[in-house]
Amino acid sequence: MADPTQTSNKTPVQATTEPAVAGQPPLSTKVCGIGHRVKRVEDERFVRGRGTYVDDVVLPRMLHMVILRSPLAHARIVSIDATAALELPGVVAVVTGKDLEAHNLAWMPTLSGDTQAVLATDKVRFQGQEVAAVVAESAYIAADALELIEVEYDELPVVVDPHAALLPTAAVVRDDKEGQEGNCCYHWESGDADETAALFAQADHVVALDTYYPRCHPAPLETCGCVADVNAATGKTTIYLTSQAPHAHRTLFAMVAGIPEQNIRIIAPDIGGGFGNKVPIYPGYVIATAASLLLDRPVKWIESRTENLISTGFARDYHMRGELAVRADGTMLALRVRLVSDHGAFYADAQPTKFKAGLFHIVTGSYDLRAAHIVSDGAYTNKAPGGVAYRCSFRVTEASYLIERLVQNAAGELGMDPAELRRKNFIRADQFPYESCTGFVYDSGDYHKALALALDELGYDQLRAEQAEARKQGRLLGIGIASFTEVVGAGPSRTYDIAGLKMFDSAELRVHPTGKAILKLGVKSQGQGHETTFAQIVASELGIPPEDVSVHEGDTDNTPYGLGTYASRSTPTAGAATAVIARKLRDKARTIAAHLLEVGEADLEWQEDRFVVAGTDRGMTIQELAFAAYTNHPVGIEAGLEGVHYYDPPNMTYPFGSYVVVVEVDADTGQWKVLRMLAVDDCGVRINPMIVEGQIHGGLTEGYAIAAMQLIDFDDQGNCLGANFMDYLIPTAWDTPRFETHQTVTPSPHHPIGAKGVGESATVGSPAAYVNAVVDALWHLGVKNIEMPLSSARVWEAIAAARAAQGDHQ
């Protein structure tokens, strides 16, 4: 019997509307499986407004909860007086940290192994921290009652700069932690310091760059919320939750609240975007559950937009210094990185336990470097906690940004073309599988091919000539390149876990007697199109049309255990589990077919949707075999055609690509506009090309927004300056550039269907391309770096400073 975990050499189907691509399965139109542009089935309910979100859940006797948040970033709580609030008609309860403390629920563990206040008991540590909660008969009454709660604060010194926070004179943010004398929350290193230093000593040139990847926010369309129903009569707890990882959240709820896990049911209905924001457990979830437990009534909590922006999981906030050792001919030797990461008041990053700075050590990118050394320190500050993998795989975005900005500057300092410098140092296709100097084993890739395609489609040489001519005319054109390697699909259980939970994932497939199927998954879609793409995997492996496959997710009572959807892990893990369990069922169907056709199993050939006796037209469809599995199965073979598989990936997968951006900058105003944006992505085998393209367009839009307009900033008193969509900008169709998308296909050799994941690649790769383009336009003026977001004011200031510096040297 063939190993079901290996890449299939059968014929997954693909529509004739999608041309055959090297590395892709052959085309077929009979069953709309892998490669077919199937319209998303879930869109039928979404475009009709028939989706079901947490705020749509209404239960009998349901109460509403609103949270009182601190206006100050750092202050002792002297007193909380809720007398007037409790007297307001319709108010059922006011919950404070002292109330939760009595039930040992005032503090909870974070995904990074730290502790976080559920409701503040001693002091507040960031603006927007949860101080008290009002539970009332309506959300309006609860909001009115908040105004009646009187809190007396004793203000404390505020620290919002992580470098200042790490100084010995800084006020200690986490004085609740025994033995915590300063604001360092971790120190972490990766790579070989001695070998790196030796190679730097051999270098002809060292390119250095200090840069900051600013704090930004996923800002999903749907904010976070829950409906908690702790039923005293049944002992059951049902929580409707905006969760990207329902099973993990159930386990963590059991650990925090002490409720037996078998009595907890998490239901994550439709989710209006996640992007990493809905991976952590937030205090509001715990407070609502505790309130339901104490009041014996369901409690709903839905946060406002401002609450979402100022208090839930942010992204980035990395201060990075990179040094690249190169020879005079452009050969890159080694990389050295010093990183200071700002984690806010609590170290609550959502990332694998073993890696304190996420997977940032993939900072060597697509290049064949001989050594690297990364030193990272995390700082507590008076900001909101919870760094999340905002459409990236655990800090890969920051890593990709740093190396691609360094390579751009290296090209400028060496007087080389940035494309040629990349080509000279790329990992070659014949070097895969390739072990990086920081320990990643890249599974496959062809970086030269992707960059060549991008440059050819762009007309790169002609554009460089146009750029030179434009400068003679006083016009500032810039061409920016970013060639990224992402690492997704966390992950092999020997290395990857979150809060101790190993990062495998699962698929349960049941084929009914009539040949229709139900697929249940441990992951959870927030817009990725799982109901469509996973059905296509089943279609390719079993020959059941995708419209006959119902995909279920998000209900812990009715799906197998899994670690959820984030960091582009759905296809690499659950997609693999789906393919493997489908192949196991196909093997069982083969046994049944051999029995019914009275031939040996080796005499049967699989042909898209049926087994056929070799050399004949005798055969049986999968539907006929499914019926036989319940009505006429062989003696000694268990009835039914169903099973579950837990997939523990042997390695991560490594999507990659090359993005090129062309911009024009107005030197008088600092305004810049995108003339062209071309993206070449390689995510291995594409299950549904239309959905892949949609994911890439969405990621490119978010990458542009981060590069051009988005910033969560704070003043010296810790006031959040990005607390609404007037200050934190979301790109519109008017703002967003036109994207030109292309592909290469390099299947993952260890993934059952050769897929790698794509949902976050565009956000990982594109920000550096925009910045590189603007810097390229201004390099001859002496501009070597501009921090994101590239506002017109920042660009104008950089031009003015460069011109002033040139004047000083004349």
Residue for token pair 């904010």: 223
Choosing from 127, 129, 244, 710, the catalytic residue is: 244
Q: Tokens for 129?
A: 């921290």
Return left, alpha or beta for 317; rule: phi > 0 is left, psi -120 to 50 is alpha, else beta. left
> 161-174: b or e for each residue (b if 16 or more CB lie within 10 Å)?
bbeebbeeebebbb
d(CA 13, CA 537): 10
Among 353, 349, 396, CA closest to 502: 353
Q: Tokens for 261?
A: 């896990």
598 is catalytic: no
Q: Tokens for 299?
A: 């409690």
- Determine contact, residues 223/274, Cβ cutoff 8 Å: no
Residue for token pair 């999981």: 313
Residue for token pair 């006797």: 61
76 is catalytic: no
Would you give the end-to-end CA distance of the chain in angstroms?
78
Q: Tokens for 625?
A: 């075999």
Choosing from 392, 437, 683, 720, the catalytic residue is: 392
Among 603, 575, 607, 610, CA closest to 589: 610
Q: Which residues contact 684 (CB under 8 A, 6 or more apart)?
A: 23, 444, 653, 655, 745, 746, 747, 748, 751, 754, 755, 756
d(CA 793, CA 116): 38
Q: Tokens for 4?
A: 């079901």
Q: What is the DSSP letter of 8?
A: P
- Determine contact, residues 731/710, Cβ cutoff 8 Å: no
Phi, psi of 286 (to 5 degrees): -70, -40
- Determine contact, residues 655/681, Cβ cutoff 8 Å: yes
623 is catalytic: no
Which segments within 556-651 are labelled E, that is strand?
Answer: 604-606, 610-613, 619-621, 642-647
H/E element, 434: strand 434-435
* Secondary structure, 3-state, 280-294: CCCHHHHHHHHHHHH
- Determine contact, residues 165/380, Cβ cutoff 8 Å: yes
d(CA 617, CA 458): 51
Local structure of 627: helix, strand or coil: helix
d(CA 744, CA 686): 10
d(CA 539, CA 532): 11
37 is catalytic: no
Q: Tokens for 119?
A: 């409701």
Q: Which residues contact 298 (CB under 8 A, 6 or more apart)?
A: 59, 60, 61, 62, 63, 227, 228, 229, 292
Choosing from 69, 250, 370, 391, the catalytic residue is: 391
Q: Which residues contact 162 (CB under 8 A, 6 or more apart)?
A: 317, 319, 340, 341, 342, 379, 381
d(CA 260, CA 8): 42
Is the backbone peptide bond immediately before 491 cis, with ω within 30 degrees of 0? yes
d(CA 751, CA 772): 34
Q: Catalytic residue numbers?
A: 244, 391-392, 760
